[in-house]
Chains A and B, each alone.
Chain A
Amino acid sequence: MNLAIHSVKLALERGASDAECTIAEGEEFSAHVRMRELEQLKDAGSRRAGLRVLIGKRVGSAHTSDLSSAGIQQMVESALALAAISTEDPFADLPDPSELGALASDLQLYSDDILKFDTAARIQAAIEAEEAALAWDPRITNSEGASFSAHTGSRVFANSRGFAGGYRTSSCSLSATPVARQGDSMERDFWYSLARRHSNLDSPASVGQRAAERTVRRLGARKVPTQKAPVIFDPVTARSLIGNIFEAVEGDAVYRKASFLEGKLGERVASENVTVIDDGTLPGLFGTSPFDDEGVPSRRTVVIDRGVLRSYLLNSYTARKLSMRTTGNAARGVTGNAGVGHGNFFLEKGQRPPEEIIRGIRRGLYVTELIGHGVNIVTGDYSRGAAGLWIENGEFAYPVSEITIAATLQEMLMDVEAAGSDLEFRGSVASPTLLIREMTVSGQ
C-alpha cells in the first residue's frame, strides 16, 4: 500500500495534477500430468507497478517490473514525459471523490486453504482426474493430460483523490483433457473445476468423468445439411454468447456508437426470458471485488430486465462521455486508461430443466463447442464454428461438427424461447442452457 501511495506522491511532486497507482503481485503454481506421469511443474511469482498521471487534461501512463526506487522513479518520469506529448482530452479525469470507496463486508476472495495442499497432493489430484477420464470408456485411448493450478495475488490501488485500498485473492483449478478414438474419428474435449477455496473444488473423479463423457459423445461426428433450425446452447457455449452481450453494453463500445445496442436504453432488445445482471458483490465468486480499478465500489446492475435494456456498464470516463454515472466497472491491468470490465455477469435462470428444453425440440442442434471470432458487435452479425449433438424428436441422435451457426445477435436475443434452470458460476460469466428459436446451420 505504501509503495502505491508513495508513487502517487512522487508524481504530484514532479508536476502531475492527479495520479493513480496500482501494484499487483501474484504467485502461480501449476502441475501438469499426462498418461499418468508428471510432465510439467511451474512455480513462480512476480510483481508489477503501474502509474497513470494527469497534467491538466493530458494523460500519460507507465509500468515496470522493477520496483526498486530507481525503477519507480523511472516509471514516474516516463509517465510525465508521455503526458507532455499527449493531447488535451476534455473528458480525462479521475472519479469524483464522492464516488470512491470499497465494500466493507468479507467478500471471501482469499482463503489460505489452497496453500495447505502440498505439491505431491496437487500432482496426485491431477493424476486422479486423468485416471478417471482414461478409465471411463475404452474408446478413451489417449490424453492431453490433466492439470492442477493455484494462484494467489494481491492488488493495491491508490490515487491522488484520497483513495487507498487493497485486497488479496486466491484460486485453484483442476482440469482434464482426454482424447478418444473410434475408427478414423479422433476427438478431444475437456472439463474443469475452478474455485477460490480448495474445499470448493469438484473431486478429481467428477472432473475426469465429465471430461470423458464430453469427449466420447463427439466421436463419429458428421456434418448436417444446411438448414434453418432451433439451436440450444449448453451452459458452456451460452456463456460465450453472454460474453458477446457484455461487449455490446460496455461503455466504450456505446459512446463510440460501435455497438448494436447503442441508443437502445429503455427499449425491448430481447425476449421476456432474458434478464441479464452484473453483480460484483457476490461473495466468493470470480467477478467479485471490493472496488473497481478506479477505486469505485463494486455493485449490482440490472443490464437487461425481462427483455428491456436498462443500463450500460461504465467506468468514470465512459460515464462522463455519456453524461451518466459510473457503474463501478473500471478494469485495467496495472496502468493505462481504464477500460470497462464486468463483475459476475450472468443471465438469470429460468424455470425449465435443460432435459425438458431438449425434449421439446423435434429437430435441432445442441451446441457444446464454439470456435472462431465471427461476432461483429457493431452490426450484430453472428457466425461461428460449432460442434455438438443433433436432436431428433427430443433426443440426441448423433454428434455433429465442421458446421457453422449464423444469425444476428439482435434476432438471437429476441428469439430466446427458454432459459434453463441450470445456472452455475464457473468463472465470472455465467448462463443457464438457452434455446434460440431459429438460426442458420451451415454444413453440407
Chain B
Amino acid sequence: MPLSDSFFGQKFGLTEHDLQSYLSEALAAGGDYADLYFEYLVTSQLSIDEAIVKSAIQGVSLGVGVRVIAGERTGYAYSDDLSPEKIRKAARVAACIANGPSKVDKTGFEVVRGRDLYPVVTSPNETSLAERVELVKRADLAARAADHRVFQVQASYIDSLRHVLVATSEGVLSTDRQPLTRLGVAVLAREGDGVAQRGYSGGGGRVGLEFFETEKTPEHFAIEAVRQAIVQLDAVPAPAGEMTVVLGPGWPGVLLHEAVGHGLEADFNRKKVSAFSDRIGQQVASPLCTVVDDGTIRSRRGSLNVDDEGAPTQENVLIEKGVLRGYLYDKLSSRLLRSRTTGSGRRESYQHIPMPRMTNTFMLAGDSDPEEIIRSTPRGLYCANFGGGQVDITSGNFVFSASESYLIEDGHITRPVRGAMLTGNGPEALKYVSMVGHDLKLDEGIGICGKEGQSVPVGVGIPTVKIDRMTVGGTA
C-alpha cells in the first residue's frame, strides 16, 4: 500500500518526504540506525457486574516514538503530538545518544509486505456498542443460569484497533492494522456457608465479533468459568514435594513460556545473563520436546503481520528434539550478535523501546495417547489450568500456579486440589519429560506477557505432557 493510501497518510497527511526528514533529524548527530513508530490506538471496554453494565470506557491514544541506535547505545523519545515540530524535537532528543558523523546513506523506502493474518473486515470497534454490550449480558445470564451456587458474575469485553507505521533509516516502510479482542468471565461460587471459590474463563484473538458467534460463544466461556469454580468447591489441599506432574493440553503451555521462552530472548543472551546463554546445540530438554515460537498463526492473539520494528514475523524453532536451536532476536540484538532479526521485536506502545519478545509459544505434538499418559502414572498431579507464571532468567528458576488440578492415583484422575505453585529450573525441567501427547492445543486467547514493565499479548500451547519430576508447593 502506498503511504498516501495508508491510515497515517490519510488521517495525518504523512508523506515519505516527512518520514525522511524526521529520520535525517534523528541521525543528525551520528548513529547507525534510526526508526519511527507511529501508533493510533482505539480501545473499548465494557463490563457487567452484579447483572448491571457498570462500566463502559472508550479511549484514543496516538503518538510517535523515535529511536536512534549507535553501536550498543539506544536513544529514545516520543511525542503524543504528531505536529512536525514536536516530532522533530523528539528526534533531536533521541539523537543525543550519538556523536560523530552518521554512516547511514539514505535512499528511498521499500514497503515491507507482511502476511495478512487477521483479515478482519469489520473491526469490533466499528460495530455498534449495543452489539458488543450484548456479549457481556449473554455471558452474565449464562453464568447465573449454569449453577445455583454461583453468587457473583463479572464479564468483561475489551477490543482494540491499533494502526501502526514503522519507517527505518534502512528504507523499510511497513504499516499494519491490528485488531484484538477478548471476552472474559469471572465467577464466585459457594456451597451454603462454605468458602467461596473463583472460576475464570476467557478468550478471543485478532478477530471480528463473528468469532463470538461461530467459534467461542459468551455461553461457552460462562459455563467454563462456572465449571472451574464448582470443581474447586470439593478441592482438597495440594500436596507438597517432588512428584510426577501431567500437564493438560492448551493453557498449561505457559510452562514453556516461563521455563524456556524468556531465557531464549536474545537481549539476555547478548549480555550472557540467561541460564541458556552459550548453550545453542546443547541438550536442554528430553528428545521428545520440540518447542517453537510462531507469530504467523492466523487470527491468534500473539500473531503479527510485522513486528513492532517493521520486520515480518516467522516460525522460530527454539528447541528441536531436545536440542537448543535458536534465540529470539529483535533489531538491536541481531545487529550486535551478527544474526538476523526473527521478527521478535515488540513494544507495548509508542512510549516504549522494542525488545525481543515471544509471540505464540508451543510444543509440537508427540505420539502418546493422552489417556495412556494418565494410566501410566501411579501417583502425581494433573494440571488442567494455570494462572500466571514467572521466571528468574539468570538462575533459570521458574514458577507457575495451577488454578485447576487433580490428584492422579493408580492411573486415574481423582480428587481436585486447591491452588498450588509448581517450581522448577528452566534448562533442567524439560529433561524429565517422558511422554508427549498427540493432542496439541493452543490456549483460547487471553495471555498477557510482562517484561521490564511492558505488557504485550501472547499465546501459548502444549499437548498433554508427562514430567517425571517437579516440585509442587502445596501444604499437604
Interface residues in chain A, defined as those with a beta carbon under 8 Å from any beta carbon in chain B: 34, 37-44, 46-48, 50, 59-66, 71, 74-75, 78-79, 81-83, 85-89, 92, 119, 142, 144, 179, 185-188, 218, 221, 223, 226, 256-258, 335-337, 369, 371-374, 376, 378-379, 381, 383-385, 387, 401-407, 440, 442-444
Cβ of A405: which chain B residues have Cβ within 8 Å of it? 473
- CA A39 – CA B392 in complex, angstroms? 22
Cβ of B59: which chain A residues have Cβ within 8 Å of it? 50, 62-64, 335
- CA A83 – CA B133 in complex, angstroms? 12
Taking a contact as CB atoms under 8 Å apart, the answer to whether A87 and B54 are in contact is: yes
- CA A399 – CA B52 in complex, angstroms? 51
Q: Are A71 and B75 CB-contacts (below 8 A) given A87-B52, A406-B421? A: no
Q: Give the contact stretch, choosing among B312-320, B393-401, B459-467.
A: B393-401
Closest beta carbon of chain A to B329's beta carbon, Å: 17
Taking a contact as CB atoms under 8 Å apart, the answer to whether B399 and A258 are in contact is: no
Taking a contact as CB atoms under 8 Å apart, the answer to whether B273 and A442 are in contact is: no
Taking a contact as CB atoms under 8 Å apart, the answer to whether B392 and A43 are in contact is: no
- 1/0 per residue, CB under 8 A from A, across B26-58: the answer is 000000000000000000010010011111111
Taking a contact as CB atoms under 8 Å apart, the answer to whether A442 and B474 are in contact is: yes
Q: Give the contact stretch, choosing among B112-120, B237-245, B292-300.
A: B237-245
With contacts defined as CB atoms under 8 Å apart, how many contacts are there between chain A and chain B in the complex? 248
- CA A402 – CA B473 in complex, angstroms? 10
Taking a contact as CB atoms under 8 Å apart, the answer to whether B423 and A86 are in contact is: no
- CA A162 – CA B238 in complex, angstroms? 54
User: Lowest 9 CB-CB distances: which A-B pairs, in order?
Assistant: A404-B473, A385-B399, A372-B399, A82-B56, A226-B241, A188-B394, A442-B240, A63-B59, A374-B421
Closest beta carbon of chain A to B334's beta carbon, Å: 17
Residue from the list B400, B423, B474 in contact with A402, Cβ < 8 A: B423
Name B's interface SS: strand
Taking a contact as CB atoms under 8 Å apart, the answer to whether A406 and B474 are in contact is: yes
Cβ of B472: which chain A residues have Cβ within 8 Å of it? 404, 442
How many B residues have CB within 8 A of the partner chain?
Answer: 73
Taking a contact as CB atoms under 8 Å apart, the answer to whether B58 and A82 are in contact is: yes
Cβ of B80: which chain A residues have Cβ within 8 Å of it? 46-48, 65-66
Cβ of A46: which chain B residues have Cβ within 8 Å of it? 63, 78, 80, 351
Taking a contact as CB atoms under 8 Å apart, the answer to whether B240 and A440 are in contact is: yes
Cβ of A71: which chain B residues have Cβ within 8 Å of it? 60
- CA A187 – CA B61 in complex, angstroms? 39
Closest beta carbon of chain A to B338's beta carbon, Å: 19
A-B contact pairs, 17 of them (CB 8 A): A40-B73, A41-B73, A44-B76, A46-B63, A85-B130, A87-B53, A142-B271, A188-B394, A371-B397, A378-B198, A379-B419, A402-B471, A404-B399, A404-B471, A406-B420, A406-B474, A442-B423
Taking a contact as CB atoms under 8 Å apart, the answer to whether B471 and A406 are in contact is: no
Q: B72 at interface (Cβ–Cβ under 8 A)?
A: yes
- 1/0 per residue, CB under 8 A from A, across B349-378: the answer is 001010000000000000000000000000
Q: B145 at interface (Cβ–Cβ under 8 A)?
A: no
Cβ of A87: which chain B residues have Cβ within 8 Å of it? 48, 51-54
Residue from the list B57, B151, B271, B353 in contact with A336, Cβ < 8 A: B57
- CA A223 – CA B428 in complex, angstroms? 14
Q: B217 at interface (Cβ–Cβ under 8 A)?
A: no
Closest beta carbon of chain B to A152's beta carbon, Å: 16
Q: Give the contact stretch, choosing among B1-9, B90-98, B432-440.
A: B90-98
- CA A144 – CA B273 in complex, angstroms? 7
- CA A45 – CA B61 in complex, angstroms? 14
Cβ of A374: which chain B residues have Cβ within 8 Å of it? 387, 399, 401, 419-421, 473
- CA A39 – CA B394 in complex, angstroms? 20
Q: Are A41 and B273 CB-contacts (below 8 A) given A89-B54, A385-B421, A440-B240? A: no
Cβ of B271: which chain A residues have Cβ within 8 Å of it? 34, 142, 144
Closest beta carbon of chain A to B407's beta carbon, Å: 16
Closest beta carbon of chain A to B52's beta carbon, Å: 5
Taking a contact as CB atoms under 8 Å apart, the answer to whether B395 and A221 are in contact is: yes
Taking a contact as CB atoms under 8 Å apart, the answer to whether B272 and A142 are in contact is: yes
Q: Which of B51, B52, B353, B475 lies at the interface centre, i.e. has the most chain A CB atoms within 10 A of its CB?
A: B475
- CA A40 – CA B79 in complex, angstroms? 18
Cβ of B51: which chain A residues have Cβ within 8 Å of it? 87
- CA A188 – CA B391 in complex, angstroms? 12
Q: B283 at interface (Cβ–Cβ under 8 A)?
A: no
Considering only CB atoms, which chain B residue lies closest to A177 in the complex? B273
Q: Are A440 and B93 CB-contacts (below 8 A) given A59-B56, A379-B195, A381-B418? A: no
Closest beta carbon of chain A to B418's beta carbon, Å: 5
- CA A64 – CA B80 in complex, angstroms? 10
Cβ of A85: which chain B residues have Cβ within 8 Å of it? 53, 56, 129-130, 133
Cβ of A41: which chain B residues have Cβ within 8 Å of it? 73-76, 96-97
- CA A59 – CA B398 in complex, angstroms? 42
Q: B171 at interface (Cβ–Cβ under 8 A)?
A: no
Residue from the list A39, A61, A373, A442 in contact with B55, Cβ < 8 A: A61
Taking a contact as CB atoms under 8 Å apart, the answer to whether A92 and B77 are in contact is: no
Q: B388 at interface (Cβ–Cβ under 8 A)?
A: yes
Residue from the list A79, A258, A443 in contact with B152, Cβ < 8 A: A258
Q: Are A226 and B394 CB-contacts (below 8 A) given A44-B79, A88-B52? A: no
Cβ of B424: which chain A residues have Cβ within 8 Å of it? 402
Cβ of A223: which chain B residues have Cβ within 8 Å of it? 471
Q: B326 at interface (Cβ–Cβ under 8 A)?
A: no
Taking a contact as CB atoms under 8 Å apart, the answer to whether A402 and B425 are in contact is: yes
Q: Which of B56, B60, B62 lies at the interface centre, i.e. has the most chain A CB atoms within 10 A of its CB?
A: B56
Taking a contact as CB atoms under 8 Å apart, the answer to whether A404 and B421 are in contact is: yes
Residue from the list B60, B240, B392 in contact with A64, Cβ < 8 A: B60
Taking a contact as CB atoms under 8 Å apart, the answer to whether B54 and A383 are in contact is: no
Cβ of B195: which chain A residues have Cβ within 8 Å of it? 378-379
Taking a contact as CB atoms under 8 Å apart, the answer to whether A39 and B72 are in contact is: yes
Closest beta carbon of chain A to B380's beta carbon, Å: 15
Considering only CB atoms, which chain B residue lies closest to A257 in the complex? B196
Cβ of A82: which chain B residues have Cβ within 8 Å of it? 56-58, 129
Q: B390 at interface (Cβ–Cβ under 8 A)?
A: yes
Cβ of A257: which chain B residues have Cβ within 8 Å of it? 151-152, 188, 196
Q: Are A92 and B474 CB-contacts (below 8 A) given A85-B129, A379-B196? A: no
Cβ of B389: which chain A residues have Cβ within 8 Å of it? 372-373
Known: A89-B52, A379-B197, A406-B475. 6 other contacts (CB 8 A): A37-B72, A39-B72, A142-B273, A372-B399, A374-B401, A378-B197
- CA A65 – CA B425 in complex, angstroms? 43
- CA A66 – CA B151 in complex, angstroms? 41
